[in-house]
Structure 1
Amino acid sequence: MTLETDDFGATREVIENHPDIETVDVVETYDSASGSRTVATLFLRGTLSQFSPLQTLMYEGFLPLGPTKLEDGCECFDLLLESRDELADATAILGEFGNVHIERISREFRREITPSAAEWQELLASIPKRQRELLNLALDAGYFDIPREVTLEELADEMDITKTTASNHLRKAERRIMSFLIRYIDLASND
């Protein structure tokens, strides 16, 4: 499982103390983009003593869309339903687990455009170390700001490479990133 939390130690302790959990192995941890939270990937071993709300809905034939999210102790997910009767049935099933809150009902199907974890990993692995170093330096130094805080030549000097090499590194990395993202930007647009 992957989680994001303000207090990783306390969160891990809650998971480890759950009666269904036998072992918890930390695969990785890192600070979130904001730096105020910890993101962790955990490998859990155990035996479920009961079905989760989502598993129960799936067993009953309901179709979840996208990933399940745990927010403030609640399991959150989207369902594709055909009628209000199906909504009432799903709500009754979920009511057996606790309080049910319906955030939004829409007649329009809005697909969530999200690259898969494998696609993200492929992109992240495709950018060589020197290109990543230059991208980080450029971002930190204000190269992408308007107006620019630093020139390409200054970045090249800092990296101890020629201006042409710096330009090529940046353009190759930018092309990889943009080629990946533009597909999803186009899919997500409504025009």
Structure 2
Amino acid sequence: MWIGHFKVWHENCIYLTNSSKFNVVISMYPLNSYVEGKYRYHTNVNILSGSHDDIKQFITAIKKDKRCLEFKGSGNVYLSYMRMKLSDYHTTNYYTPKIFLLKPIIHKDGKEEWYFGAWEREIVSDLYNSFKKFFHVEMLSIKEQDFTDLFIPHIMPKITEKQKEAIQLAIREGYYDFPRNIHLNELSKITGVSRVTYLEHLRKAECKIIPEMFGYSIKEDKKKGKKKK
């Protein structure tokens, strides 16, 4: 399998413009795409990272754009339904079923980051060449290898605003890096709450999110454990 890794910038992107403006990071995963008349329609899953106020402003701006037909969800997970003119230049207009995303498309710091696979090198090269005609593209790598990481979108478990802020801060500040770049005492000072309170929010978020990532349900597993006893 061939894996392509690009960074792309284009000025008329509805996501990039608002992502940079409101300091929101978007992890986007295309669900489907079809052409009807002079338009291409896209449905995407969007996972938003940022402060509550920044995300709120971002969503308001997105909904005002005529290209956005629907943008619905809650917390930080939203489904979008976009209509793009075929004559306009958007990266998603060049998305092809011949490639498969290994990670979501990240919109951050004014650029889109694409990490995807294809069965032939030519398919990866063709997408790069298509992007290069109309966008600023930085090729990070094209290589043949077996993949070890795969992102599969699913409904995120519901967490509170405090829990979301706690885990997003931990990610941004490098708490999950190895070695750790920051410790709990420092994280709690940033949020202005006690170490115990911050840790409670963080652990509750982890307990809801991590089991879901691997197909486990804590409630169901507890029920099964009780039945066995």
The TM tier, using the shorter chain, reads: 0.3 to 0.5
Higher relative contact order (CA 8 A, sep 6+): 2
Select the structure that is richer in strand: 2
Select the structure that is richer in helix: 1
Structure index of larger Rg: 1
- For normalisation by structure 1, the TM-score amounts to 0.44
- For normalisation by structure 2, the TM-score amounts to 0.38
